[in-house]
Structure formats: C-alpha cells, structure tokens
Structure 1
Amino acid sequence: MNNLQINTTQNVNLNYTIVSIGERIVAFFIDAFILYLYAILVNLIGDAIGYLYDDRWTQRGLVALIFLPAMGYSLLMHIIFNGRTVGKMLLKMRVVKLDGSSVHWSNYLVRWMLRLVDIWLFVGSIGILTILFSEKRQRLGDAAAGTVVISTKSKTKVSHTILEEVEDTYIPQFSNVTLLTDKDIRLIKETFHIAKKSNDFKTLKALRDKVDSILQTNSVLYDKQYLDTVLKDYNYYTQQA
C-alpha cells in the first residue's frame, strides 16, 4: 500500500494509506451483491404488482420506478455517507480530496459518470489498469475528480497524536480554536492528560485560563469539560478543512 500525505487548509499534515486494488474490488463486489439482492426484491414486487394490474405497461413502469434508486446507488451513497458505500464502510475506506478540502457532490458526480468508462464499457479493465499504473491508485474517475480512496483503519492510537476521537455527529462549540497551532494543541493535550490523571486541579485551572485568554470564549464549562471540548473542536475543524 502507498502512503499519502494531505495538507489541510489549516496547515495540518494528515497521513493516510491508499487502499490496494484488491480491497477496492472486494468493496465493489459487496456493493454489487447488495444491488443483486435489491434486484431480486424488485422482481418479487413486480410479480406482486402483476397480480394487481393487468396492464403490463403499468407493471413495467412501476418496477422501473422502484429500481431507479439502484441506478444511482454509488452516487447517492457517496454523497450521503461522506465518500463511502456499504462496501467501503465494511472495509474501512473512504473517498477524499487530494488537496485536503471537503469532497463536493460534483466530485462524486464526476466519479460516478466515469464509471461508465472505468467499469461498465470495458468490463472493469480500464479502471483496473489506471489504478495499477497510477501513482496514487486512482481510476479515471478519481483523476478527473481530484479524489483518492484511502484506508480509515487506525494503525496509530489517537492518544499518541494531537488528535481526539470525534463522532461523525459531533457538534463543535468554539469555532476560533483554529487560532491555536499544532504545537499549542500538543502541549495542551499532554498537560491536560497529566493533570487530569493526577487530579491536579490547580494546573487544570491555570491551563484553562491560559487557553481561554487566547480564544476569548468566556465559557461556563468546567475546566475538564472545557479543555476536552477545545481538543475535540480543534480535531473537528482540522479534519473538516
């Protein structure tokens, strides 16, 4: 697997592993199997509709309408689930932008449209060849959209970095945490964890006052909760950048 370093707009370097072609193929077949099951379900629904309507055109029209979401499965899943389909979720991979910015729906649209060339017209041969001979393992759709598929499997514990674990549904409270630098966050995190572990409330208060003097948040949160929120907010904004 190749490694990829992305520099975000907040000047934070994020290191990722580019997934192998084998993993991408497995993810593709997982999604294909899901669509196959959906097609069987639609066929059963079509048979049921046939019992209700004698008009064959009505039956075909309703079946086509029910099957329509499957046609845009890849596009819809990537847009809704932030660069992931079910196959990618199971194999822990995601589509991201090479420049570190957020992936726009138009980027997913370009990738989806070029599946016609990458996958369907030439039975996947174009996509496989371009992935194999691309430095960043990109198919034509990725190259055109400026995206790459990376692994989200964690090889390094978050506690060993400046980052904090943040849920996808996390809502940040302090938007100006980006005034802090990586060096600041590293020092805050190390001091916070040491003071919290030893119940050093004096150090926690001093650390909180120092951070608050920089950010000017005037928050009513308790010291521990405040510092924990600052760390998570910083992680949220740098990851979203």
Structure 2
Amino acid sequence: MNETNLTTEIKTEPNIGNRFAAGIVDYIIIFGVTFFLVFTLGEPNDAGGYSLNGLPGLIPIVFWLIMTVGLEVGFGATAGNYLVGLKPIPKSGTNRKLTFKESFKRHLLDPIDMLFFGLVGIVTIKNTELNQRVGDLWAKTIVVPIKSLSEIKMR
C-alpha cells in the first residue's frame, strides 16, 4: 500500500481524554524524577529550597529528552501514549516512528500546549482538521490510535 492510500485511510480523532491522560502520565514521571533529583543531588539555597547547580542541573533536561523524544524515536510512542494506545506519526500518514527532529519539535512546544491546564492544546486539537495540537502543527505530525494502524495493515 502506498503512502497516499494510507493518508486517506487513516482517520484522526480528537482523543482529548486519552491525550490528556498520556500527558499526565508522562509528566508525572518527568516531574517525579526531577523532584527526586533536586532533593537528592541538590544543594540548599537561600530561599529555603534546593537547587541543582552545574552539570547535575542538566540531568532533568536530559531525562525529559529521553522520556519524550527518546521514547518516541526509539519505540514509536512515549510511555503515556503507549499506555492509552496512541501513536504519533508524520502528517503524511506513513506508519513509521518519528525522526528526532519531528519528535523534538512536537515536545519543545509542550509548555505552550499545556498552558491554562491544557486549554491551548485542547482548543487547537478541536479546531484543526487533523486534530493537531500546536506542537503537532509545527512538526507536521498527527496522533492516531495504534489500533487504527494495525487495522489498515491487516487489509
């Protein structure tokens, strides 16, 4: 089956609940590990909290990169997306893992999509033809149910 047939056969859906749950799972893991690192490796600061200084300060950033971009590039989905049965793919509809560039662009805009408790992401998903959030629009990606990809493959 060629790429154009896949594009017409794949139907995107808003999947707001699943996408929200996937984001919650991913960022609970990321923030949990970050807080653990800050309190175990961090040093007390003047404000009464803890700070990661120097090279240890890069560990949470590297962990974020692995948990979002690394998992998408390596396994096809983040932990949260995998748990709820979603997979990001290129806008063309090709069933493949995202490239580093595509995944990085998607996740670099996560903070914008999560503004106002995810309202920005929800509004863009609901008002774009392919149910894309801001990060997906920039990266030219879509998010589809994994089962829809396997149904097309079986035909």
TM normalised by structure 2 equals 0.73
Among 40, 44, 49, the residue aligned to 2:35: 40
Unaligned runs of 5+ in 1: 1-6, 51-55, 164-181, 183-241
* Residue number in structure 1 paired with 2:47: none
Partners of 1:146 and 1:81 lie apart in 2 by: 19
Is 1:153 aligned with 2:147?
yes
Q: Is the 8 A contact 2:113 2:119 kept in 1?
A: yes
How does 1:23-172 map onto structure 2 within 5 Å? 23-46=18-41, 60-72=53-65, 73-82=67-76, 84-101=77-94, 102=96, 103-120=98-115, 122-153=116-147, 163=154
**Distance change in 2, residues 1:162/1:62 (3 Å):** closer
Question: What amino acid sits opposite 1:41 in the alignment?
Answer: F
RMSD: 3.3
Partner Cα distance (2:25, 2:90) in 1: 24
Letter in 1 for 2:121: G
1:90 to partner: Cα distance: 0.6
Matched positions, count: 146
Measure, in 1, the Cα distance between the counterparts of 2:24 and 2:71: 15
Deviations 1:194-234 (A, max 9, x none): xxxxxxxxxxxxxxxxxxxxxxxxxxxxxxxxxxxxxxxxx
Where does the alignment leave 5 or more consecutive residues of structure 2 unmatched? 45-49
Q: Is the 8 A contact 1:111 1:141 kept in 2?
A: yes
Classify the secondary structure of the residue corresponding to 1:148. strand
**Percent identity between the aligned chains?**
25
Shift of residue 66 of structure 1? 2.5
CA-CA distance at 1:14 after TM superposition? 4.3
Question: Are residues 65 and 19 of structure 1, via their aligned partners in 2, closer, same or farther at CA, if it must alter by over 3 Å?
Answer: same
